[in-house]
Amino acid sequence: MYSNIYFIGIGGIGMSAIARYYKFKGLNVSGYDRTETELTRKLCAEGIGVHYTDSPEMIPADVDDTLVVYTPAIPEDLKELVTVREKGYKVVKRSRMLGEITDGQVCLAVSGTHGKTTTSTLAAHILTQSGEGCSAFLGGISKNYGTNLLMSANNVVVAEADEFDRSFLQLHPEIAVVTAMDADHLDIYGDLEHVQEAFRNFASQASGAVIKKIGLPLEASDTPAKLYTYSLDNPQADFYASDIRLQPDGHFIFDLNHPGGVIKDIRLGTLGWVNVENCVAASAICLLHGTEPESIHAAAESFVGVRRRLDVHVNRPGLTYIDDYAHHPAELATAISSLKQIFPSRTVTGIFQPHLYTRTRDLAVGFANSLSLLDELILLDIYPAREEPIEGVTSEIIFKDVTCPKRMMHKEELMDYLAGRDLDVLATFGAGDIDRFVEPITEMLEQR
C-alpha cells in the first residue's frame, strides 16, 4: 500500500472524486492541474495540495511509496508525466483506479454517451435516502450533497462508467445501465460502430442485470446478465413512466411502471422530461438491487439534481436562466426540447461553446440541427481542452448551417452583449470553461 497518491489532472470531475476517496482513507493526496477552479479550491480546503504549474519538483520524492494517477486528457509531453515515467514511479490511468476500488464490491454502474451523470447521482441519492447507503463516484456535483463523492461503510458502490478512452471496461458491475450509444469521442473510437462495440463489451462484463434504453443496439446475447429495457413512456419497456403530468412550476408528476407493479404519483424534484427518463433508469437500478418502492417515491421528490444539468439559477416571471453541460448534439437537442416544453410560450436564447476541435469537426451538422431548435443562438469559439487546432475547424462550420436567428462572438464580448439584451429564457451550454460565466450572468440578471 502506498502512503502518497499523486494525481496529474486532479481537477477533473472523475479524478477529484478518487482523490477525495483516498484522502478519506487517510493517505497523503496531492496533484497538478492546469487551471484553478471552484473544484480545485474545494480540494485545497479539504487538505489536498493542488498546484497549477507543470512542476516535477512538486511530486513526492519517494518513488517506492508514491502511486501516480493520471487522466488521458493530459498531454503525453507534460513534464510531470514524463518525469514520473522516467524515474520509475508506479503510474496508472484513472480508470484503472476506479476498477480497483470497485473490485470485490457490489458495483452499480451507469454508462452512456449522455444521461449517465444524472442517472447515477439519482440512483446514489435513492440508496442513501433509503437508509441502505452507498459509496458513489459521480461525474458531476450532486446538489443534494455538494460533492461528487459519497462514502458509506457498506459494500455498495454506484459508479459513473465513462466511455472516454474505454475507461468503463475496467468495471465489472453487478448491475449496469446503458443510457445512450451515440457517436462521440470519435478521436478515440474512429466511428459509431466501434463506440457501440465498446458498450457491448461493457455490458458483457455485468454479472446480474443490464438495463438499456429501449431501442439501443444491445441484445441479450451480448451479456451473460439478464437484459431489461427502460423508456420515458414506451409501454413495451420493462420500466417506463405513464400518466406524465407537467405542473405549472415546470416539475413533472408521473407513475413508474416496473415488473413488480406501479409506483403512483412520483413528483420529480428536477425539471425536464429528460429527467423523468433518467429517473426511470435510476429507479430500475434500485428496484433490481432490492430497494423498496416507497423509498424511490420519496427520494425522487427530494432530489434537486446535479450542478450544470438543467441547473436553474434565476427563475422569476419573465426571466429565467439555466445552465447545462450539454456538449453533444443529442444532449443539446434533449436539453433544448425540455426547455421548450417547460416554457412553451417563451423565447429561449442559447449560448453554446463547442468543446474539442475533433468533436466539432465530426458532428458539425448534428450541432447545427440541434442548435436550430433554439429561438436564438449565441455561438462562442471552440474550447480546445487537450487538443491542438485543426486547420479549417472553427465554430463557423456549425454556425453556417444554423437556421434560427444567430450571432457568433468571442467569449470576451459576451457579458457586454448580454447586458444590452432584453432576455426571456437564457441557457448556457457546453463542457469547456463556459461555466465561468454562470456566476456573473446570474449576478447580472438578478440585478434587473
The residue among 25, 1, 22 whose CA lies nearest residue 10 is 22
Q: Tell me, yes or no, whether 294 and 316 share the same domain.
A: no
Looking up residue 70, the CATH number of its domain turns out to be 3.40.50.720
**Which of 302, 325, 347 is the C-terminal boundary of a domain?**
302
Q: Tell me, yes or no, whether 282 and 175 share the same domain.
A: yes
Q: Tell me, yes or no, whether 65 and 177 share the same domain.
A: no
For 167-194, letters b (16+ CB in 10 Å) and e give: bbbbbbbbbbbbbbbbbbbbbebeeeee
pLDDT at residue 158, rounded to an integer: 98
Q: Tell me, yes or no, whether 66 and 182 share the same domain.
A: no
E strand intervals along 94-186: 106-111, 135-142, 147-150, 156-161, 175-178
Percent of the chain with pLDDT strictly greater than 70:
100
Angle, nearest 10°, between helix axes 329-342 and 273-289? Answer: 110
**Which of 59, 94, 129 is the C-terminal boundary of a domain?**
94
- Give residue-wise pLDDT tens across range 187-196: 889 999 999 9
- Checking if the pLDDT of 65 tops 90, the result is yes
Residue 447's contacts (CB-CB under 8 Å, 6 or more residues apart) are: none
Three-point CA angle 176, 289, 216, nearest 5°: 30
How many domains, in total, are found in the chain? 3
Helix, strand, or coil here: 192? helix
N residues, the chain: 448
| Calpha distance 174→42 (Å, rounded) | 32
Whole-angstrom Cα Rg for the chain: 22
Cα–chain-centroid distance for residue 169? 18
E strand intervals along 143-260: 147-150, 156-161, 175-178, 209-213, 226-231, 239-246, 252-258
Q: Tell me, yes or no, whether 275 and 340 share the same domain.
A: no
| Calpha distance 417→376 (Å, rounded) | 14
- Checking if the pLDDT of 73 tops 90, the result is no
Q: Tell me, yes or no, whether 144 and 291 share the same domain.
A: yes
Instruction: Provide the mean pLDDT of the chain.
Output: 96
**Which of 94, 114, 142 is the C-terminal boundary of a domain?**
94
Which segments of 236-311 does DSSP mark as H helices, in order? 273-289, 293-302
State the average pLDDT over residues 389-405.
98
Q: Tell me, yes or no, whether 22 and 126 share the same domain.
A: no
Looking up residue 261, the CATH number of its domain turns out to be 3.40.1190.10
Q: Tell me, yes or no, whether 356 and 254 share the same domain.
A: no
The residue among 185, 243, 233, 242 whose CA lies nearest residue 213 is 233
Q: Tell me, yes or no, whether 215 and 277 share the same domain.
A: yes
Looking up residue 430, the CATH number of its domain turns out to be 3.90.190.20
Task: Provide the domain limits for residue 226.
Answer: 103-302
| Calpha distance 280→230 (Å, rounded) | 7
What's the start-to-end Cα distance of the chain, in Å?
Answer: 56
Question: Beta 252-258 vs 261-267: how paired, if at all?
Answer: antiparallel
> 108, 283 in Cβ contact below 8 A?
no
- Give residue-wise pLDDT tens across range 101-158: 999 999 999 999 999 999 999 999 999 999 999 999 999 999 999 999 999 999 999 9
pLDDT at residue 1, rounded to an integer: 79
Q: Tell me, yes or no, whether 288 and 316 share the same domain.
A: no
| Calpha distance 9→386 (Å, rounded) | 11
Q: Tell me, yes or no, whether 244 and 161 share the same domain.
A: yes
Q: Tell me, yes or no, whether 247 and 353 share the same domain.
A: no
